[in-house]
Chains A and B, each alone.
Chain A
Amino acid sequence: MSAVSTAEQSTYQAETKFGRFTDFVDQRVGGSGILKEFGRKVFPDHWSFMFGEVALYSFVILLMTGTFLTFFFDPSMAETHYHGSYSPLYNVEMSVAYNSSLNISFEVRGGLFMRQVHHWAALLFVASVSVHMLRVFFTGAFRKPRELNWVVGGVLIILAMAAGFTGYSLPDDLLSGNGLRIIDGVIKSIPVIGTWISFFLFGGEFPGTAIIGRLYVLHILLVPALILLMVAVHLFMVVVHKHTQYPGPGRNDRNVVGYPLGPVYAAKAGGFFFIVFGVIALMAGFFTINPIWNYGPYDPSPVSAGTQPDWYIGWVDGALRLMPGVIGAVDGYRQHFEFIIFGHVLTLNVLLPALVPAGIVFTVLFTYPWIERWITKDDREHHVLDRPRNAPTRTAIGVAGFIFYCVMWAAASSDLIATHFKVSLNDVTYWLRALFFIGPVLGFIVAKRVALALQRKDREIALHGRETGRIVRLPHGEFIEVHAPLNDYKRYRLVSFESPKPLPAQPNSHGVVDRKERRRAKFSTWFFEDRVAPITPAELEAAHAHGHHGEVESGEETKSLSH
Chain B
Amino acid sequence: MKALSLKRRHPLAAIALLLLGLLFTGGLYAAASTANQAKADTQSYSASDVAEGKKLFVANCSTCHGMGASGTQAGPSLVGVGAAAVDFQVGTGRMPMQMDGPQAQVKPAQFNEEQTHQLAAYVASLAPGPSVPDAHITDGQGDAAKGGELFRVNCAMCHNAAAAGGALTRGKYAPSLHGVSSAHIYEAMVTGPQNMPVFSDANISPESKRDIITFLKTIESNPSPGGAELGSLGPVSEGLFVWTAGLAVIIGFTIWLTSRSS
Contact = CB atoms under 8 A, between A and B. Distances in A.
Interface of A: 45-51, 54, 87-92, 105-106, 112, 116, 119-120, 123-124, 127-128, 131, 174-175, 268, 271-272, 275-276, 279-280, 283-291, 293-296, 299, 301-311, 314, 412-416, 418-419, 422-427, 563
A47 B236 contact: no
A113 B167 CA distance: 32
A359 B242 CA distance: 26
A293 B225 CA distance: 10
B169 A426 contact: yes
10 contacts: A50-B258, A87-B145, A88-B147, A92-B149, A112-B225, A127-B243, A275-B250, A289-B226, A295-B161, A427-B171
Nearest to B224: A288
Contacts of A291: 162, 224, 226, 229, 232
A419 B176 CA distance: 10
Contacts of A128: 247, 250
Nearest to A276: B250
Contacts of A51: 254
Interface in B83-122: 102
A310 B229 contact: no
A353 B249 CA distance: 35
B258 A123 contact: no
Interface of A (DSSP majority class): helix
Interface string B219-262: 10000111111101111111111110111011101110110101
A418 B171 contact: yes
Given A174-B161, A294-B161, A306-B164, A311 B258 contact: no
B158 interface: yes
A413 B238 CA distance: 12
Nearest to A272: B257
A160 to B, nearest CB: 14
B169 A294 contact: no
Contacts of B157: 302-305
Contacts of B219: 88, 294
A116 B233 contact: no
A478 B159 CA distance: 69
Interface in B139-180: 144-145, 147-149, 152-153, 156-162, 164-171, 173-174
B161 A272 contact: no
Contacts, number: 200
A127 B167 contact: no
A105 B226 CA distance: 9
B218 interface: yes
B260 A416 contact: no
B215 interface: yes
> Which 6 pairs between the two chains have the least Cβ-Cβ distance?
A305-B166, A311-B239, A288-B226, A304-B161, A415-B167, A424-B171
Contact of B253 (A275, A307, A413, A419): A275
Nearest to B145: A90
A399 B250 CA distance: 23
A272 to B, nearest CB: 6
Given A50-B257, A123-B246, A425-B169, 6 more contacts: A88-B145, A174-B156, A287-B226, A291-B229, A304-B156, A424-B169
Interface in B188-240: 215, 218-219, 224-230, 232-240
Nearest to A89: B145
Contacts of B218: 87-88
Nearest to B105: A422
A54 to B, nearest CB: 6
Contacts of A275: 250, 253, 257
Chain B, interface size category, equals 35 or more
A528 to B, nearest CB: 33
B257 A424 contact: no
Given A92-B148, A291-B162, A47 B229 contact: no
Contacts of A303: 156-157
Contact of A279 (B166, B239, B253, B260): B253
Most interface-central of B166, B169, B250, B262 (chain A CB within 10 A): B250
Given A304-B157, A424-B170, A426-B170, A419 B230 contact: no
A112 B253 contact: no
B218 to A, nearest CB: 5
Contacts of B224: 288, 291
A128 B251 CA distance: 10
Contacts of B228: 286-288
Contacts of B247: 124, 127-128, 131
A336 B169 CA distance: 20
Given A89-B145, A296-B152, A305 B238 contact: no
Contacts of B229: 288, 291
Nearest to B163: A294
Nearest to A415: B167
B259 to A, nearest CB: 8
A49 B254 CA distance: 9
B243 A302 contact: no
A285 B227 contact: yes
A77 to B, nearest CB: 19
Contacts of B250: 54, 124, 128, 275-276, 279
A308 B225 contact: no
B160 A306 contact: yes
A310 B162 contact: no
B227 A46 contact: no
A47 B239 contact: no
B251 A418 contact: no
Contact of B258 (A46, A90, A307, A563): A46
B251 A287 contact: no
Contact of A311 (B144, B238, B253): B238
B162 to A, nearest CB: 4
A287 B230 contact: yes
A424 B260 contact: no
Given A116-B226, A127-B243, A424-B102, A308 B235 contact: yes
Given A88-B148, A286-B227, A294-B161, A306 B234 contact: yes
B251 A47 contact: yes
Contact of A304 (B145, B160, B240, B249): B160
A418 B145 contact: no
Nearest to A269: B257
Given A50-B254, A308-B235, A112 B226 contact: yes
A127 B257 contact: no
